[in-house]
């Protein structure tokens, strides 16, 4: 199922919630702000290393990083086209996220979920580990799941 399909399905099973979470991470890795915005509540709150200990609310903080990634990707492709073929450049820009040891706690008669996991992000030969918690809620008004809060710590 696609991210959009899972967002619209009210009664998710554990494996589907993990897929929803993984597809959101994939959208982030690909720099797909449209899907990220669709999956997140407009008042999303978070604690993450980039916020330097501050609680961040809304999507503007996150949009900055999507835009930055897009600018950097365009710059790398432009520079690389002078001396390296496109396939080699694309492989250097590829990242992969893996969810390790996930745990789901369902709340509010399965209308909300807390998903905790260790995340491994591979980029080239570098791997970064983080510990993450994501809070999802099914909005009966919007008839879809929304990520309401997340907390990401350096692993």
> Whole-model pTM above 0.75?
yes
Phi, psi torsion values for 153, nearest 5 degrees: -120, 150
pLDDT, one tens digit per residue, over 86-118 is: 544 444 557 889 999 999 999 999 999 999 999
How many Å apart are CA 20 and CA 51, to the nearest integer? 25
Question: What is the CA angle 107-113-116, rounded to 5?
Answer: 125
pLDDT for residue 137: 98
Q: Domains along the chain? A: 3-154 (3.10.450.50)
pLDDT for residue 98: 94
pLDDT for residue 84: 52
């Amino acid at each position: 199922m696609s991210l959009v399909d899972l967002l619209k399905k009210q009664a998710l099973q554990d494996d589907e919630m993990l897929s929803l979470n993984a597809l959101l991470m994939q959208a982030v890795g690909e720099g797909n702000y449209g899907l990220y915005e669709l999956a997140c509540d407009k008042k999303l709150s978070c604690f993450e290393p980039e916020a330097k200990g501050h609680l961040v609310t809304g999507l503007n903080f996150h949009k900055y990083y999507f835009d930055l990634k897009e600018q950097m990707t365009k710059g790398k492709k432009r520079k690389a086209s002078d001396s390296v073929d496109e396939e080699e450049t694309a492989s250097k820009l590829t990242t992969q996220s893996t969810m390790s040891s996930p745990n789901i706690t369902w709340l509010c008669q399965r209308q909300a979920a807390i998903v905790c996991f260790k995340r491994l992000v591979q980029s080239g030969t570098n791997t970064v580990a983080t510990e993450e918690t994501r809070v999802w809620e099914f909005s009966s008004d919007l008839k879809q799941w929304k990520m309401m809060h997340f907390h990401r710590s350096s692993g």
